[in-house]
């Protein structure tokens, strides 16, 4: 069983998209029982809010069910609860490590670090390009699924 926490700034765009998409891909391969998936924010700005309508629309457009979700903030205790804590960009990693304090087991990475082309995933809150974000997250989740199985 691999426990994965996806993290972005507000937990309404990229991280819930990654959580739902990873669940979808695992289900398609009959591997849903191999994962515990969740998502969280590094900020408190959106706590309690549902996924951004752009995220929901993009997932729906690609036939992916949006997991029920309300934004939460990552907590120091989450380090012990998850095998991987995956930020969407370098700023997320800095904020995750600030909240957790340290990463002695090397659990904290970017989602796209599992791909042949490691890079940040742009925040569609600012870019407005939810399709590009979806494609980057799809690339990351497919690579992550291969890594974990």
Catalytic positions: 8, 14, 123
- Roughly what angle, to the nearest 10 degrees, separates helices 53-61 and 14-28? 20
How far, in Å, CA of 41 to CA of 149, rounded? 27
Centroid of chain to Cα 99:
17
Among 26, 124, 28, 5, residue whose Cα is nearest residue 74: 5
Tell me the backbone φ, ψ of residue 86, rounded to 5 degrees. Answer: -110, 110
Tell me the backbone φ, ψ of residue 109, rounded to 5 degrees. Answer: -150, 170
Length of the chain (residues): 149
């Amino acid at each position: 069983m691999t426990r994965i926490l996806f993290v972005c700034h507000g937990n309404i765009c990229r991280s819930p998209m990654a959580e739902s998409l990873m669940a979808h891909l695992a289900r398609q391969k009959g591997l849903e029982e191999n994962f515990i998936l969740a998502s969280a924010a590094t900020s408190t700005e959106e706590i309690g809010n549902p996924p951004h309508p752009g995220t929901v629309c993009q997932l729906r457009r690609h036939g992916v069910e949006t997991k029920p979700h309300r934004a939460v903030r990552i907590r120091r205790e989450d380090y012990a609860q998850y095998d991987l804590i995956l930020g969407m960009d370098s700023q997320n990693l800095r904020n995750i490590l600030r909240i957790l304090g340290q990463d002695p087991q090397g659990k904290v990475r970017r989602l796209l670090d599992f791909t042949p082309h490691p890079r940040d995933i742009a925040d569609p809150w600012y870019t407005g390009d939810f399709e590009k974000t979806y494609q980057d997250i799809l690339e990351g989740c497919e690579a992550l699924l291969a890594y974990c199985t």
